Structure 1
Amino acid sequence: MLAASWQDRDGGKTALLGMYLASPVRHVFTDQGFAGRFVDWAPDTLTTVVIVRKPAEQRGFAVHPRRWVVERTLAWLTAHRRLARDYERHPEVSEAIIRWAAINGILRRITRGEPAHRQLRRTFTWT
């Protein structure tokens, strides 16, 4: 995670080095904010970086498959109440809660035994 005042390409090296040391991820999809020297540096040093670009013929909004994976995953994680807001003081605690939420989601999918379905809205009537 980078401060909002940093450009993606400026903080990308630090973030990628930290990810490389902490996880087995070796193939990264990024947006156009990481384009430039960062893309040239990453394969020689650590991992493969692929820039997901908007198709030239696209007009208006369109779902990009790789970007949609990230958005969907973040939505699944924030479905856990503890992750809806970030009140933690230490990054290690936030990381542990994110891991717990991801493991919980995977376990629920594995043990469900049937395809996912949307829950029905509850309506309450006052008498």
Structure 2
Amino acid sequence: MRTHHYPSDVTDEQWALTEPLIPVYPGGRPRKTDVRDVLDAVSYILRTGCRRRYIPEGFPPRSTTGRYFDEWRSNGTLDRLHDALRREVRTKEKPYRPRSSARVDSQSVDTTSGGEERGRDDAKNVDGRKRHIVVDSMGLLLAVLVTAASVDDGRAASALFARLNGQPMGKVTRMYADSKYHDM
């Protein structure tokens, strides 16, 4: 059991909601690591942008945290956890204040690794990738699309908005965007 806690740690209420969503595999050796500590470590990495090798002491070993993170990302567990927590936040909204707007924007980031999704954004002087993100007015994530930095926002808009299918858009009637999303 850890002694030091961080603002990124899941609360007891969040843990009660997310624990049933974490896969348990029958057979094999019993777990020695507290999965809640692993979730706290993953949350710490995601919240702070910290690299795995810089995880503070007290969390499970970085190899363990990395293994769980990679597994949860590939099998959809992180998506299910995020969706459950987002649903919980939305249920606590006041019914007379439904969210009626969302925002979309992109950010170009340098990358050193190659791959298909890499290009040059001359406007920002960046070689790498571009993250296109849609959030609701509470700042809750609705959709993400990663493209090469050279991809124009207007060209990426249709693929990004296709990812909104099945998302809890509710009463969203207005989408705010900069002029680069001209093809919406």
Q: TM-score, normalised by structure 2?
A: 0.19
Q: TM-score, normalised by structure 1?
A: 0.24
- Structure with more of its chain in helix, by fraction: 1
